[in-house]
Amino acid sequence: MKRNGSSGFAILLIICGALILLSKFSFGLGGLMGYLVPLAMVVLGYYSVKRGSKVVGWVIMVIGGLILLGKFSWLIGLVIAVGLIGYGVTMLRRNNSV
């Protein structure tokens, strides 16, 4: 079977359709799809930039990245909280040693 650029997109459409059908038959992948779709947008945007369609690629990448940023906001908040606690402990140790 000879593959060209459109066959990759066709395979992607088949996989997405199969995942949607699985979710309709109670094999819920909703949580996973919430991360896969923005990740796929970032990857497709990257390939668009590599192939020469820079504006469209960057727009798709930025939108996918912003969606992923929203999905991982709990992790970002956790990292900031741990950093603030660590910085506070360091400041207390520094003040006690003087």
* pLDDT given for residue 12 in this prediction: 74
- Tokens standing for residue 90: 């360091």
- Give me the tens of pLDDT residue by residue for the chain, a chain 98 residues long: 555 666 677 777 787 788 777 767 766 666 777 788 888 889 888 888 888 888 988 998 999 999 999 988 888 889 999 999 999 998 888 887 76
For residue 27, which phi and psi values (nearest 5 degrees)?
-100, 70
Taking the model in full, what pTM does it have? 0.58
Beta-carbon count within 10 A of 35 CB: 13
* pLDDT given for residue 26 in this prediction: 65
